Homo-oligomer: A and B are copies of this chain.
Amino acid sequence: MEEQTFQTMLQAKTEEIEQILRSYLPKESGYQKTVLEAMNYSVLAGGKRLRPMLMQETYRMFGGSGGIIEPFMAAIEMIHTYSLVHDDLPAMDNDEYRRGRKTTWAVYGEGMGILAGDGLLNMSFETALQAFSKGMSLEEMRRTADALKILAGKSGVYGMIGGQTADIEAEEQESSISTEQLLFIHEHKTAALMQSSMMIGAVLAGAGEKDVKAIEKCAYNIGIAFQIQDDILDVIGDSAVLGKTVGSDARKSKQTYVTMNGLEQSKADVERLSEEAVTILNSFAGEHTFLEQLILNLVHRAK
């Protein structure tokens, strides 16, 4: 696919996702108005909407059509957003700015930042549960229940929250961390929500257990490659392009995949992981030209 065509499609798909997402956001009224404002402020801060896009593209690759995927697309973005809102809190990373915009707690106060995150996490389940409707067949009910189990599992203490915990623990630990520990953090903190997105897309489209497992592996590779590329960019990137101080992780003497394995090995691993991911995609008959390009652009991004 030509880069020009891809960019046009990317923009159209992102706009479609924005509209879906907005349709599930709360109206800002009532005595609890402030938390609703803080939630909407957080979600509408922009972002690539990568996770809903991975979900929708995987759904389509497995022949899925219809609206049942939409509440799940909104739900996964709410979970991703709440994790950023809580990560930015003073007791966590203490970030006042994200993407050049004040973070939620910096605008609404710390207490409201906590409540907005809680509100988004809770609302992600309220939203995904809207996929259950009265006229559903037993098979549709089962798929929806399975998708919900994936959504909850990959976000929780055996998924994203587990990775966030391990990351905080690693930062406080005096001894150096192991490769296993680093991969645990990347798998859970970063890959888990990508796995959740693609697996839910597959499950809702009716993919079998074996295919869902393959998709889980594919998304694992994407997540790890994405994270290694992040570490690579931190070393070689251009500070103006990246919008953050280059080498900031290294200066804080934080161990990264690159400090542990060297730059050349890290680059080779990104290639290997993304090629494997594409090979898995190619094992499926469904149309996935855009999805493949999305993954490659993601992994090879220069910022």
Q: Range of interface residues on chain A?
A: 35 or more
Chain B residues lying within 8 Å of A125, measured Cβ to Cβ, are 125, 148, 152
Given contacts A30-B162, A117-B118, A165-B115, contact A126 B152 (CB under 8 A): yes
From residue A163, how far is it (CB to closest CB) to chain B in Å?
8
B121 near A122 (CB under 8 angstroms)?
Answer: yes
Bound complex: CA A119 to CA B188 (Å): 14
Q: Which A residues between 59 and 109 are near B, CB-CB below 8 angstroms?
A: 82, 86, 89-92, 109
Chain B residues lying within 8 Å of A152, measured Cβ to Cβ, are 122, 125-126, 129
Q: Mark A151-177, 1 if CB is under 8 A from B, else 0.
A: 011011110011111101100000000
Chain B residues lying within 8 Å of A132, measured Cβ to Cβ, are 145, 149
From residue A89, how far is it (CB to closest CB) to chain B in Å?
6
Q: CB of A35 within 8 A of chain B?
A: yes
Bound complex: CA A185 to CA B30 (Å): 11
Q: Which A residues between 1 and 54 are near B, CB-CB below 8 angstroms?
A: 26, 30-32, 34-36, 39
A168 near B114 (CB under 8 angstroms)?
Answer: no
Q: Mark A180-196, 1 if CB is under 8 A from B, else 0.
A: 01001100100000000
B32 near A115 (CB under 8 angstroms)?
Answer: no
From residue A161, how far is it (CB to closest CB) to chain B in Å?
5
From residue A187, how far is it (CB to closest CB) to chain B in Å?
10
Bound complex: CA A192 to CA B201 (Å): 33
Q: CB of A203 within 8 A of chain B?
A: no
Chain B residues lying within 8 Å of A165, measured Cβ to Cβ, are 31-32, 34-35, 112, 115
